[in-house]
């Protein structure tokens, strides 16, 4: 493994300074710092383009060329932000390091809080089709946070399953 990384010692103030992760279908740009973190979520079916009809040609030579050459697209599309997942952590810290490991595609943040090291690792798994995060502290109970989901679409709903809080 090459261990290629992008790393920063300052919080990311907005999306443009965030660390991108994704699996080709779902992804996020992770930004923030010690006390808060935002995941700007994308999903492949929420995009800015539109369906495009490409006219056919009856000439056999044109049909053969079409098999070998891709027609020029008339519209450009890009994934749009579907929602923001906002995490707020209940502790202060110092010595922040944010990084994106380019070999493992894991975005992480690490820092010291009350003399103990706290880490957050986030990645998109292709197999499960989700974005997942692992938060760990130096001792039991050292990681506590609130989570809020804010939609960016005209109709958006978030639900709590099983009322889990641990």
Rg (CA), the chain: 21
Contact call for residues 54 and 72 (beta carbons, < 8 A): no
Domains and CATH numbers, the chain: 5-45+77-141 (2.70.98.50)
- In angstroms, the CA 69 to CA 50 distance is 22
Average pLDDT over residues 113-121: 90
SS3 138: coil
Q: Give the model's pLDDT for residue 38.
A: 96
Q: Give the model's pLDDT for residue 58.
A: 67
Q: Give the model's pLDDT for residue 160.
A: 75
Contact call for residues 28 and 42 (beta carbons, < 8 A): yes
The overall pTM is greater than 0.85: no
- In angstroms, the CA 121 to CA 19 distance is 12
Task: Give the model confidence (pLDDT) of 25-81 as tens digits.
Answer: 899 999 999 999 999 998 887 777 666 565 665 677 766 666 666 555 565 566 778
Task: Check pLDDT > 80 for residue 148.
Answer: yes
Secondary structure in 3-state letters for 144-155: CEEEEEEECCCC
Q: Give the model's pLDDT for residue 143.
A: 84
- In angstroms, the CA 76 to CA 65 distance is 23
Q: Give the model's pLDDT for residue 86.
A: 95
Task: Check pLDDT > 60 for residue 166.
Answer: no
């Amino acid at each position: 493994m090459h261990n290629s990384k992008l790393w920063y010692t300052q919080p990311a103030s907005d999306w443009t300074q965030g660390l991108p992760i994704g699996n080709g279908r779902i992804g996020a740009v992770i930004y923030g710092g010690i006390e808060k973190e935002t995941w700007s979520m994308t999903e492949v079916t929420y995009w800015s383009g539109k369906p495009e009809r490409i006219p056919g040609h009856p000439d056999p030579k044109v049909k053969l060329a079409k098999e070998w050459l891709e027609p020029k697209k008339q519209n450009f599309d890009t994934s749009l932000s579907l929602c923001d997942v906002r995490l707020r952590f209940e502790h202060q810290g110092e010595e922040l390091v944010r990084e994106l490991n380019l070999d493992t595609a894991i975005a992480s943040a690490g820092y010291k809080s009350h003399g103990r090291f706290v880490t957050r690792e986030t990645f998109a798994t292709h197999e499960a089709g989700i974005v997942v995060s692992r938060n760990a502290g130096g001792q039991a109970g050292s990681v506590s946070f609130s989570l809020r989901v804010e939609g960016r679409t005209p109709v958006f709903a978030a639900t709590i399953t099983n009322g889990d809080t641990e």
